[in-house]
Chains A and B, each alone.
Chain A
Amino acid sequence: MKFNVVSPENTKELLELISVNQDRYFRFGAGYTDLLIELKKQPDEDLTVINLAQLTDDIFTAISKIADGFRIGSLVTAKRISLSKDLQSNYSVLTEAAKKLASGQVRQVATIGGNICTASPAGDMACALVALQANCEILNSNGTLRIIPITDFFTGVRTTVLQKDEVLRSIVIPSNNRKNKIYSNFIKIGTRRAMECSIVSLAYHILTDEKSIITHAGIALGSVAPTIMLAKSACDYLLGKSFSSLNPSEIKEFSQKILEYASPISDIRASAWYRTEVLGNVAKSIFEN
């Protein structure tokens, strides 16, 4: 495994390096927990790694409260997300996903931007962000910013809308409008509880008013399709219903709507049949526990 490394220390240097490397093969490295494993398996090529680990600009490295929600820099680590009290009280789906990601050693360095850009259908934090219907703030090498919903970010297994001259700068999570209570959690099913890549994951973020009526629902599914899926019709189905008194037939109908988004494969971790059964049961468990 051999490659060159360039280490920008600020946004300006980063954009220049993206620009000058347009004709070369380059990759971004941040936490390296995915990239190094991938590069170890590849034959040596004339590769340049743009090392983001020494970039210190707040816009890439901070969690900040903004007028319409929270902005998280793409270099914020899973560990920092898991410890953020602001995120825990507003978006516990995200902090729970961060806590369940891999191990302490990995969480210490793995970044939220990396979890998104690696575009795995099993990405834990990415799944939570789809449930939260976050927006991705993408910079191109000219410094132009474009904002796209995370639901449009993934185009397939390990592919995204990012162009070669673009970098994911930050993520914005919208405010919890008109909420009385927040039901927000990340359910991860694996064969063991530690260091596990999920067999099925379900992220939900549901807001209710003072009468327990559901006013907002975001539900995302991981590891059951080529990309993380927002189960839109299942979310819409919940609107106007009472969170605490869904009847068994409504819960069943909700679960069936969730399953419409699943097209799982059988692989070394689980069979397609098992994934489907588990997903249906996990979906019901939101309202049954």
Chain B
Amino acid sequence: MSQSIKINFTINGKRTELTIPPYMLLIDLIREELGLKGTKPGCLEGECGACTVLVNGEAVNSCLYLAINVDGKEVITVEGLPVTPEGEIDPVQEALIQHGAVQCGFCTPGMVMSIKSFVAQCNKDNIIPSPDEIKKAIEGNLCRCTGYVKIVEAVESLF
């Protein structure tokens, strides 16, 4: 079991080369190797979405993704969302704050990443999503505090 594999990928815009064990999960690469603790470990079996990150712009569960398979790809975590020099955070994060859509906050980084990928897809397809389409888009993210209503309202406000 001494096999290790070299991967080249981009994390939050930064090109990175690492040698990792083949069985390493993407969530462990992000949290333990790179020290980016914004990505949360929840159920660790793909149910809760707390660990959601973007791989090539698409939301995936980092707990069910082999780290070696990000070779050649672009990974974005919640830490990689842009902050302007004036301190303005990403519009998705701002909308969640403005709508009171964050309570304990544990699900929020994953929720933000799912919403990011959904908003990008809607903008690309020139679609204004309905509340049902928004609910469908966040079906893979559990939130035990808010009851989702404020989250859905926050997403609606982005269009």
Chain A complexes with chain B: yes
With A54-B69, A105-B114 as contacts: A5 and B45 at CB distance below 8 Å: no
**Nearest Cβ in chain A — how far from B53, in angstroms?**
9
B42 within 8 A of A: no
Instruction: Check A33 against B46 for contact (C-beta < 8 Å).
Output: yes
Interface residues of A in 20-48 (CB under 8 A from B): 29, 32-33, 36-37, 40
Instruction: Check A7 against B3 for contact (C-beta < 8 Å).
Output: no
A268 within 8 A of B: no
B139 within 8 A of A: yes
| A32 CB contact (under 8 Å) in B21, B49, B64 | B64
A53 within 8 A of B: yes
With A1-B23, A2-B21, A3-B22 as contacts: A103 and B140 at CB distance below 8 Å: yes
Chain A residues whose CB sits within 8 angstroms of the CB of B139 once the complex forms: 103-104, 193-195
Chain A residues whose CB sits within 8 angstroms of the CB of B21 once the complex forms: 2
**Nearest Cβ in chain B — how far from A15, in angstroms?**
21
| A57 vs B65: C-alpha distance when bound (angstroms) | 21
Number of interface residues, chain B, beta carbon within 8 A: 33
A-contact bits for B78-121, CB 8 A (1 contact / 0 none) = 00000000000000000000000000000000000010011000
Q: A79-B58, A105-B140, A106-B46 are in contact. List 4 more A-B contacts (CB 8 A).
A: A2-B23, A40-B45, A103-B141, A108-B59
A145 within 8 A of B: no
Chain A residues whose CB sits within 8 angstroms of the CB of B5 once the complex forms: 5
B137 within 8 A of A: yes
Interface residues of B in 121-148 (CB under 8 A from A): 135-137, 139-141
**Nearest Cβ in chain B — how far from A136, in angstroms?**
25
Contacts A/B (CB < 8 Å), 20 sampled? A29-B66, A33-B46, A36-B63, A36-B64, A37-B46, A37-B64, A49-B22, A54-B71, A79-B58, A102-B140, A103-B140, A104-B59, A104-B114, A104-B118, A105-B49, A105-B60, A105-B61, A109-B60, A194-B136, A195-B139
Instruction: Check B69 against A53 for contact (C-beta < 8 Å).
Output: yes
Instruction: Check B22 against A5 for contact (C-beta < 8 Å).
Output: yes
B68 within 8 A of A: yes
| A5 vs B6: C-alpha distance when bound (angstroms) | 12
| A29 vs B65: C-alpha distance when bound (angstroms) | 10
A249 within 8 A of B: no
| A32 vs B70: C-alpha distance when bound (angstroms) | 13
Chain A residues whose CB sits within 8 angstroms of the CB of B3 once the complex forms: 4-5
| A53 vs B21: C-alpha distance when bound (angstroms) | 17
A141 within 8 A of B: no
Instruction: Check B46 against A3 for contact (C-beta < 8 Å).
Output: no
Chain A residues whose CB sits within 8 angstroms of the CB of B17 once the complex forms: none
B52 within 8 A of A: yes
Chain A residues whose CB sits within 8 angstroms of the CB of B135 once the complex forms: 194
| A207 vs B4: C-alpha distance when bound (angstroms) | 53
Instruction: Check B52 against A105 for contact (C-beta < 8 Å).
Output: yes
Interface residues of B in 1-38 (CB under 8 A from A): 1, 3, 5, 21-23, 25
Instruction: Check A53 against B49 for contact (C-beta < 8 Å).
Output: no
Instruction: Check B140 against A7 for contact (C-beta < 8 Å).
Output: no
| A195 vs B46: C-alpha distance when bound (angstroms) | 9
**Nearest Cβ in chain A — how far from B148, in angstroms?**
10
**Nearest Cβ in chain B — how far from A209, in angstroms?**
35
| A1 vs B22: C-alpha distance when bound (angstroms) | 11
B-contact bits for A51-66, CB 8 A (1 contact / 0 none) = 1011000000000000
| A195 vs B118: C-alpha distance when bound (angstroms) | 17
Instruction: Check A109 against B1 for contact (C-beta < 8 Å).
Output: no
Chain B residues whose CB sits within 8 angstroms of the CB of A108 once the complex forms: 58-60
| A49 vs B68: C-alpha distance when bound (angstroms) | 12
| A195 vs B5: C-alpha distance when bound (angstroms) | 33
Closest B residue to A196 by beta carbon equals B139
Instruction: Check A33 against B68 for contact (C-beta < 8 Å).
Output: no
| A7 vs B73: C-alpha distance when bound (angstroms) | 16
Chain B residues whose CB sits within 8 angstroms of the CB of A194 once the complex forms: 135-136, 139-140
Instruction: Check A102 against B22 for contact (C-beta < 8 Å).
Output: no
Instruction: Check B64 against A51 for contact (C-beta < 8 Å).
Output: no
**Nearest Cβ in chain B — how far from A35, in angstroms?**
9
| A54 vs B7: C-alpha distance when bound (angstroms) | 13
| A5 vs B66: C-alpha distance when bound (angstroms) | 10
